Amino acid sequence: MKILIAGGDGFCGWPTALHFSARGHEVAIADSMIRRKWDEELGTQSLTPIVSFEERIAAWKEVSGLDIRTYVGDLTDYEFVEHVFRDFEPEAIVHYAEQRSAPYSMIDREHAVFTQVNNVVGTLNVLYAIKEITPECHLIKLGTMGEYGTPNIDIEEGYIRIQHKGREDVLPYPKQPFSFYHLSKVHDSHNIMFTCKSWGIRATDLNQGVVYGLWTDETRKDPRLYNRIDYDGVFGTALNRFCIQAAVGHDLTVYGKGGQTRAFLDIRDTLQCVELAALHPADFGEFRVFNQFTEQFSVLDLAKRVVKVAADMGMTANIAHLENPRVEKEEHYYHAVHTKLLDLGLQPHLLSDELIRDLIETAAKYKDRVDFGVIAPNATWR
């Protein structure tokens, strides 16, 4: 299959590109390299050293003997998008190419506007390119469980059956997004659903939980193939952030009481899920939604688990309850359905002490790259 990975230089995109390439697909990456520029803007860097995009691609060819085609440009530029689609003619596009951080979108007006324009316009351009150039192309779009919020009922997979005043219908599940970033994902979902209905596009929206972990079979093969991992208060996510903090002797930063429950998955399962979606495409005109996660944890439970593993390794890790910069429920009901990917054959990598230990050991190896000054949250929802 010819698969285009939009955002293929990023945390999820890079290992996805290698994964598909290793399995014999013809892979192309489209990326603007903006994630690297955000490091410069925020004065931070990946915990793991990552080489230039060109070096990454050359290293993969050297290690595997396989080529990955590359296109450097911005999805908000339709001339660029049109060129990529006409030149590569993808049969599937895995779309990661969005600003993915809720805190980044909440820094100020400029960052909120950028996030929504970048994400919504880029996705609209992809939809038009599919319609006009490759109408059979299957769009695999990375959404987020954050679209749903924390309702006091079970979260279904995209749709819910409603009975109202004697009538019944299956409707899109109500959305209660957490941030301007999550709002951009809701706008994407609505635009994709509309174009599937109007133009006959086929699309899979993968509402992904919080991704943890670092290594995949391909990224371990050579230091030049290493994936990035973030620890800062803007792009660092729970568990990864906690493991790094434990390794360098920093208190684990739990926001508020830590009772917030979220959906999580191993990055290896991100690759599995995307591959399953590609190998079992949606029907033409279908907008299907999969909830892409394997387990649910509260933030405090994750922090306590890291403390326990660190103690087993002879380290002392403490938990610091910071004032929550976000406006969110800290104690709430949370139960989300996630059966469709399991039905397609997903074999989950459930969270293990061994993985936590591996993350802490990796962080200890690169602890000199950690800047304590960027760990605290610097964006507020208020």
Active-site hit among 71, 96, 173, 181: 181
Radius of gyration of the chain (CA): 20
The enclosing H or E element of 254 equals strand 252-255
The enclosing H or E element of 27 equals strand 26-31
Rounded Cα distance between 197 and 152, Å, is: 30
The enclosing H or E element of 92 equals strand 92-95
Judge whether 112 and 105 are in contact, CB under 8 Å. Answer: yes
What DSSP assignment string belongs to 168-214?
EEEEEPP---SSHHHHHHHHHHHHHHHHHHHH--EEEEEEE-EEE--
| Max CA pair span of the chain | 65
Residue pointed to by tokens 């670092």: 214
Rounded Cα distance between 85 and 11, Å, is: 23
Rounded Cα distance between 62 and 351, Å, is: 33
- Residue type at position 30: A
Active-site hit among 44, 144, 195, 237: 144
Of the candidates 3, 40, 53, the one whose C-alpha atom is nearest the C-alpha of residue 24 is 3
Cα dihedral 101, 103, 105, 111 sign: negative
Is 197 assigned a catalytic role? no
Judge whether 88 and 69 are in contact, CB under 8 Å. Answer: yes
The enclosing H or E element of 288 equals strand 287-292
Rounded Cα distance between 155 and 105, Å, is: 25
- Residue type at position 4: L
Is 253 assigned a catalytic role? no
What DSSP assignment string belongs to 140-158?
EEEEEGGGT---SS-B-SS
Judge whether 6 and 95 are in contact, CB under 8 Å. Answer: yes
Is 185 assigned a catalytic role? yes
Active-site hit among 44, 96, 185, 231: 185
Catalytic residues: 144, 181, 185
